[in-house]
Amino acid sequence: MGTLGRNEPREPLNSPKRAKEFIYSLHPKERTCLLKELQSFESIAIAQETQEASPLTQAQIKYVLLHNAIPFIGFGFLDNAIMIAAGTQIELSIGVTFGLSTMAAAALGNLVSDLAGLGLAGYVEVLASRLGMQVPDLTPKQADMWQTRVSSHMGKGIGVTIGCILGMFPLLFLGDDEDESKKKEAHTNTTDS
């Protein structure tokens, strides 16, 4: 939603200034939708103020975790796969020409990956939503419970971990080429001596 980059670190919306920045970044239809949902959420919260919040069930906690993990599998996958592919190409092309270290090439590969992530994040979110997972059906009090926050963060962490591991697949194709080029380089160095 909005025009802000999807992978930009965001400050919490706990100040009027930050809330205003967020609101101004939204399109008119997004602002209207957000206003309706906030009003609905607040009316439910007010109606339930005097009621005791029902504890989260194990199924709800698992669903919150899974709902948060799925898009982050995609983010981790793309981030690692693009970084490895770009870093390798940078090392083998401009890295050789300008004498860049492997770590410098990896850092530039990470830059390419982060820039690609800004553009691809929206697509990952759309694909994740097409899997049919709806936003967890929680009451306002349940949404504010520490168990919900912890399972949300755990889901994101687990998702990124799985995605990064899966995103290492370019390494399956790179190992032989690098070994061959190192052998050729070593052979050239020994014949020149």
Encode pLDDT of 85-109 as tens digits: 999 999 999 989 999 999 999 999 9
Q: pLDDT tens for residues 25-36?
A: 889 998 899 999
Per-chain mean pLDDT for the chain: 84
- Confidence at residue 178, expressed as pLDDT on a 0 to 100 scale: 55
Under the banding of pLDDT at 50, 70 and 90, the label for residue 43 is confident
Going by the DSSP 8-state scheme, the letter that residue 191 receives in this structure is H
Overall average pLDDT of the 123-147 stretch: 86
- Going by C-alpha positions, the residue among 190, 188, 184, 192 that lies closest to residue 92 is 184
100, with CB counted inside 10 A (0-12, 13-18, 19+), is middle
- Confidence at residue 185, expressed as pLDDT on a 0 to 100 scale: 67
* Percentage, residues of the chain above pLDDT 70: 84
- Token look-up 């994101």 returns 156
- Confidence at residue 2, expressed as pLDDT on a 0 to 100 scale: 39
- Confidence at residue 5, expressed as pLDDT on a 0 to 100 scale: 46
104, with CB counted inside 10 A (0-12, 13-18, 19+), is middle
| DSSP code per residue over 85-142 | HHHHHHHHTHHHHHT--HHHHHHHHHHHHHHHHHHHHHHHHHHHHHTTPPPP---HHH
- Confidence at residue 148, expressed as pLDDT on a 0 to 100 scale: 93
| pTM reported for the whole predicted model | 0.68
pLDDT at 51 over 80: no
Mapped onto helix, strand or coil, the DSSP state of residue 52 is: coil
Tokens matching residue 41: 């959420």
Mapped onto helix, strand or coil, the DSSP state of residue 70 is: helix
**Long-range contacts at 129-136 (CB < 8 A, ≥ 24 apart):** 131/70, 133/66, 133/67, 133/70, 135/67, 136/60, 136/63, 136/64, 136/67
What is the C-alpha to C-alpha distance for residues 91 and 99, in angstroms, rounded to an integer? 9
- Which stretch, 56-60, 117-121, 157-161, 170-174, has highest mean pLDDT? 157-161
- Confidence at residue 75, expressed as pLDDT on a 0 to 100 scale: 94
pLDDT at 3 over 60: no
- Going by C-alpha positions, the residue among 122, 152, 134, 135 that lies closest to residue 62 is 152
> 10 Å Cβ neighbour count for 74?
21
Q: Per-domain residue ranges for the chain? A: 58-185
pLDDT at 20 over 60: yes
Query: Of 82 and 179, which is predicted with more confidence?
Result: 82
Under the banding of pLDDT at 50, 70 and 90, the label for residue 13 is confident
Tokens matching residue 124: 């990952």
